[in-house]
Amino acid sequence: MEEILAYIALHKIETLLIGFGVIVLAFVITHWQEVKFWWLNLTYNFPVIGKISRLSKDIEGFDENHKWFYSEERLCRDYYNFYEKVDKDSESFDEAKAYLHSAGELGRKPTPTLIWVMIFVLVTVEAFGFAYVLAGFTIPGASEATQQKGAVGVAAMLAVLLVWLTHMTGQELHKNTLIKKIRRWYKNDNAGGSNWRDLKPDEQLITIDNTFDDEKSPNYIRMLNRIDVNDKVKATYTKTILTLFFIFVVAIGATYIRDQVLKQEIASSHESAVNIFNNDASPFADTDAASDDDIGALFGDAAVDNAKEDLTALFGGEEKAATETGATSNSSIIDETNLKGGEATFMILGLMFVFIQILGIFFGMHWDFAGRESKEAYECLRGFSTKSAFLGFYDRAKTHIARTAQKQLQKLQHAMNIINDNSGTDAETTALLRNNKDRTFKHYLTFEDK
C-alpha cells in the first residue's frame, strides 16, 4: 500500500485527471438522456459551425405538404425525438408498471451514481497497484518513465475490462434467477395437472405498449415473454465462467509478478552491498599485494607465508571468518523473513482483488435489468409510486423541451430572414419566411402525432 501511495504522490496530475474522469463518466452513465439533450442544444447554438448557422442557409427547400421549410422541420424533428420520450400519460404509467411486474423486476433499479463512483475508485486503485507491479515488464528496454506510462495504460485497460466483465456476469446471474423461477413455476403448474402448453414464449412480441395482450397467460409465460432465453429455456453461465477464469488468471499472475519483483529487489540489495564492500576494500588489497611482493623479493615467499600465519594467530583471523559467517547468516534470516512476509502480503492482496471482483458481480446482480424493455419501463416510471407525481413530472419535462425547441426555432427563423434580406430572393420566399406564425413547435406536434 505504501508503494501505491508513493506512486500516486509521484503522479499527482495523472491521479487528478483519472479521478475527474471517473466522476464525469459515472455522471454520464447515469444521466445519459440529460447529457444528450445538453449536447443537442450545444450543437445548435455553437457559433459559425452550429446547426442553426448551417440550417439557416437553406432558404430554398420548402415542404409543400406541411408548408414548412426543410430546415425548420429538421430542427423540430431533433427536439421531437426527446419530446416523445417524455410525452407520457396515465396509460403510460399503468403499462410501464405492468411490464415490470410481469418481468419480475418491479422494484429493481439501475446502478446508482454513487455505486458507479465507488466501482471506478476501486478500479483506479487496482490500476495503480497493477501499474506498480507491471512497471518493469511492460516495455523492456525503455526508459523508466516510458515503462511507468505503459504500465498505467495496460493496468487501466485491464481494470476497465474487469468492471465490464463482472457487471455482465452479475446481470447473467440475475437473469438466471428469473429463468429458474420460470421453470419452477412451470414444473409446479404441470405437477398440478393444469399445464396446457409447452414452455416457450408467445409468438407475439410483447413490449411496453402491448403489455396487456398476454394478461390471460400464466405468470411464468408472461415473464418468459419479456426476457431473451435459449430454445431450452435453461440458465447459461458462459459469461460467469469466462469472468471467473479471467479473475483467477489475473490474481495468480499479479501475485506471481509481485513475488518475482520482491526477489529481484532482495537480489539487487545484496549486489549493491557487495559492490560497496569491494569498492571500499580495493585500495587496501592493492597495498597488501604490493607489500607481499616487496617482502617476497627480500626474504623469499616462505617468509611471507610464515609472517601471514603469525599475524593470523596474533590478531584472530578465525574470529574475522566467524564474523563474516555470522553476518551472512543474519542476512539470510532477514531475507527469508522479508520473502515470507512479502508472500503473505501478496496473498492478502490477491484475496482483496478477488473480493473486489465478487463485489462487482454482486452489484450487477442487485441492480439493472434482464427484461428486454425493463430499463425503458423503469425510466418511464422514474421511481414515482403515485400517478399524480408521475404526471406532474412529465408535464414539466414536456414544457421544458417544448419551450427550448420553440426558442431554437425562433433563432433559426430569424437567421433565415437575415440571410434572405442579404441575398435578395424572390417575393414568394420572402413572404413565406415572414409569415411564420403558424410554424411553431406546437403546430409541428399536431402533424407529427398524426
pLDDT tens digits, one per residue of 368-401? 899 999 999 998 888 787 899 999 999 999 999 9
Residue 69 has pLDDT above 70, yes or no: yes
pLDDT of residue 265: 65
CA distances 202 to 198, 227, 307, Å, are: 10, 12, 107
Length of the chain: 450
Residue 32 has pLDDT above 80, yes or no: yes
Exposed / middle / buried, residue 6 (Cβ in 10 Å: 0-12, 13-18, 19+): exposed
- 176-206 burial, b if ≥16 CB within 10 A, otherwise e? bebbeebbebbeebeeeeeeeeebebeeeeb
- Angle at 376 (CA atoms; ends 370, 377), nearest 5 degrees: 90
pLDDT of residue 105: 92
Q: What is the mean pLDDT of residues 80-96?
A: 91
In 7-64, DSSP assigns E strands to: 62-63
pLDDT tens digits, one per residue of 183-212? 999 888 877 655 556 788 888 899 999 999
Q: Which pLDDT band holds residue 295 (cuts at 50, 70, 90)?
A: very low
Backbone torsions φ then ψ of 121, nearest 5 degrees:
-65, -45
pLDDT of residue 254: 75
End-to-end alpha carbon distance in the chain: 64
Q: Which residues are registered as beta bridge partners of 68?
A: 63
Instruction: Say if CB 56 and CB 412 are below 8 A apart.
Output: yes
Residue 161 has pLDDT above 50, yes or no: yes
- What is the phi-psi region of residue 23: left when phi exceeds 0, alpha when psi lies from -120 to 50, beta otherwise? alpha
pLDDT of residue 227: 93
pLDDT tens digits, one per residue of 6-22? 656 666 776 677 777 76
